[in-house]
Chains A and B, each alone.
Chain A
């Protein structure tokens, strides 16, 4: 059995539309250079995405604190990660890089604060 998937190569501005056949072996079609083939294989085996979002922050200039996953999480986990952020609240001040959620959605990746936020009326 093999899965089929279409992805856009991001290695150059051309953006080749790659067709991936994912079975025992990965077959990449539609690429116009080696970079595309390489990228297609990676997308086929373990596509990863950094997830950006925000959480509620109390006592700061803005009501939301931007956060992201420290590194890529498996693509199929993205929505789960977002779900886990629902209802998370932090209190100012907050330091840049602070861990907001550990091991989010069992990905062994942490959610971190993208910036610091001071206390403000």
Chain B
């Protein structure tokens, strides 16, 4: 069957009246459904058809006000005429993908600009990532995800050296328990079920990994599992150990990419939102932003959750992003010794809406549980409710029954930029020949990021970008010095030079005043930007001791009154007003 017939079969089966057009393997849907769930459902069904390259879901659902116009209203900002410069490449989006591409491009003799609407890099999907560098066992064989994941994972070791960012190959354990195939238990009577889970299923998992190109996979049985991870639930039957799984701090990584790209002359325009494109003969010539105009040779759409908006803006609508929220729980560092690998319980079939997630260590010694997976209507829906916290606590305490699941110190959520085809969309735009989509990068996007950057540059070459190595490229980046990691002698020496190294402002994470000042020198202007660079405020007390102390340093260094210090955005000023309305 060809694509249109397959699509027709699905729309015919639907209780709604859905019309569609297929153009260059992209399916455009129109019609009306009653609920958001139905909207997602039909999109996913059609995205699942083999050969479909994108689903543009213009179906409206009942409660949906005209969403496109709402999006447009939000962008009612006026573009500025001022000329910001002329670039060979303009990257839209400063998440891990945009920043990784920026750094990759800075190896060549190209003028590169990156526009990011937020005041710092890594503020979108990247920020809430749990930091797991997936090995590449999960994606299906024919996907772009699989290839880029395996390659990206392999690139992390060397890059982490160059960028001076901690990366640990902790390995992961895929746990097989009596709950793994509960649904199929009836087909495997008596001891057969256990036998299958112990001797057959692990072999299948291992085989799948090997087919995907992974090496060194081990099968652990019974006691062997506890030797690797002692806190695991007693009834675990077997486990598959994948040695290449790693962990990294996603925003630290992104900031490192940003700093190194900047050092190699990429121009970063933060607080800069792309509002429109100026095209001539089907090619984008100028990018209009609220800060000014960027002339460009080629454009890269790495706008994450908003990559479909950018595509539409460029006149090449070819996919729709359906936001998928993930909630995570972060635990006290004191529990560091409880978890050594990335852990997940294998469930077959995987739950359709709550797949993914697990228990991971972080490079800083916290343990992180999650994320959940929930389809949400809004791309900025990152709230967390009590029920969601309990859901996570319940789900993962079955794997680690002795873990004190109430000792979390924070919860947060992020939104994944999922497409209906559920694969990365990395290709030249169908209708705009100088626009490269690097979109729909959801999990395993972090693990794939270095390979995505590399692949994007290959595609740019095919699109006609002249790639000449820049001999002056310097890929080395030095991370911030941290008092908490310094030897006694080193710290003594630093304090002698500058006493502020000995002034500890965040006592939970042991962060000094000097580090706060250095973060400010490295472009951090808000409390949260400093937090991401120094870890101040990330400990047990969650800012209650250090907030004012750090705000005081920001106020002094940036020469602004205390009541104007910001948490993150210009709209998120911490405090408001002086007592009795007095002069500050």
B579 near A87 with CB under 8 A, answer no
In B547-584, which residues have CB < 8 Å from any A CB? 579-582
B579 near A54 with CB under 8 A, answer yes
A83 to chain B, nearest CB (A): 8
- Docked Cα-Cα span, A64 to B582, in Å, equals 12
Contacts of B581 in A (CB 8 A): 86
- Docked Cα-Cα span, A56 to B580, in Å, equals 11
- Docked Cα-Cα span, A86 to B581, in Å, equals 8
B345 to chain A, nearest CB (A): 51
Contacts of A83 in B (CB 8 A): 580
Does A109 interact with chain B (Cβ within 8 Å)? no
- Docked Cα-Cα span, A56 to B581, in Å, equals 12
Chain A 78-100 interface 0/1 with B at a Cβ cutoff of 8 Å (1 = within): 00001101110000000000000
- Docked Cα-Cα span, A108 to B70, in Å, equals 62
- Docked Cα-Cα span, A83 to B582, in Å, equals 11
Contacts of A54 in B (CB 8 A): 579
Residue of B nearest to A83 (CB): B580
Residue of A nearest to B580 (CB): A86
- Docked Cα-Cα span, A83 to B581, in Å, equals 11
Q: How large is the interface on A (under 10, 10 to 19, 20 to 34, 35 or more residues)?
A: under 10
- Docked Cα-Cα span, A83 to B579, in Å, equals 11
- Docked Cα-Cα span, A82 to B581, in Å, equals 12
Interface of A is mostly: mixed
Contacts of B580 in A (CB 8 A): 82-83, 85-86
- Docked Cα-Cα span, A57 to B406, in Å, equals 45
Contacts of A87 in B (CB 8 A): 582
B327 to chain A, nearest CB (A): 40
- Docked Cα-Cα span, A85 to B582, in Å, equals 10
- Docked Cα-Cα span, A85 to B580, in Å, equals 9
- Docked Cα-Cα span, A86 to B582, in Å, equals 7
B564 to chain A, nearest CB (A): 15
Residue of A nearest to B579 (CB): A54
A68 to chain B, nearest CB (A): 15
Contacts of A82 in B (CB 8 A): 580
B513 to chain A, nearest CB (A): 15
- Docked Cα-Cα span, A85 to B579, in Å, equals 11
Contacts of B582 in A (CB 8 A): 56, 86-87
B555 to chain A, nearest CB (A): 11
A2 to chain B, nearest CB (A): 36
- Docked Cα-Cα span, A86 to B580, in Å, equals 6
A82 to chain B, nearest CB (A): 7
Contacts of A56 in B (CB 8 A): 582
Max chain B C-beta neighbours (<10 A), residue from A54, A56, A64 = A56
In A1-34, which residues have CB < 8 Å from any B CB? none
In A56-115, which residues have CB < 8 Å from any B CB? 56, 64, 82-83, 85-87
- Docked Cα-Cα span, A82 to B580, in Å, equals 9
Residue of B nearest to A54 (CB): B579
- Docked Cα-Cα span, A22 to B557, in Å, equals 58
- Docked Cα-Cα span, A87 to B584, in Å, equals 11
Contacts of B579 in A (CB 8 A): 54, 64
B556 to chain A, nearest CB (A): 11
In B96-144, which residues have CB < 8 Å from any A CB? none
Residue of B nearest to A82 (CB): B580
Chain A 44-60 interface 0/1 with B at a Cβ cutoff of 8 Å (1 = within): 00000000001010000
Contacts of A64 in B (CB 8 A): 579
Residue of B nearest to A88 (CB): B582
- Docked Cα-Cα span, A90 to B451, in Å, equals 63
B565 to chain A, nearest CB (A): 14
- Docked Cα-Cα span, A56 to B584, in Å, equals 9
A119 to chain B, nearest CB (A): 18
- Docked Cα-Cα span, A87 to B583, in Å, equals 8
- Docked Cα-Cα span, A78 to B580, in Å, equals 14
- Docked Cα-Cα span, A92 to B580, in Å, equals 21
Contacts of A86 in B (CB 8 A): 580-582
In B284-315, which residues have CB < 8 Å from any A CB? none
- Docked Cα-Cα span, A36 to B396, in Å, equals 55
B536 to chain A, nearest CB (A): 21
A67 to chain B, nearest CB (A): 12
A90 to chain B, nearest CB (A): 13
B102 to chain A, nearest CB (A): 42
A77 to chain B, nearest CB (A): 16
A47 to chain B, nearest CB (A): 24
Residue of B nearest to A56 (CB): B582
- Docked Cα-Cα span, A56 to B578, in Å, equals 11
Residue of A nearest to B584 (CB): A63
- Docked Cα-Cα span, A49 to B259, in Å, equals 58
- Docked Cα-Cα span, A11 to B579, in Å, equals 32
A91 to chain B, nearest CB (A): 16
- Docked Cα-Cα span, A85 to B581, in Å, equals 12
Identify 10 residue pairs between A and B in the complex whose beta-carbon atoms are under 8 Å apart, listed by A's number: A54-B579, A56-B582, A64-B579, A82-B580, A83-B580, A85-B580, A86-B580, A86-B581, A86-B582, A87-B582
Return the 6 tightest CB-CB contacts between A and B, nearest first.
Answer: A86-B580, A87-B582, A86-B582, A56-B582, A54-B579, A82-B580
Q: Given A83-B580, A86-B582, list of 8 further CB < 8 A pairs?
A: A54-B579, A56-B582, A64-B579, A82-B580, A85-B580, A86-B580, A86-B581, A87-B582
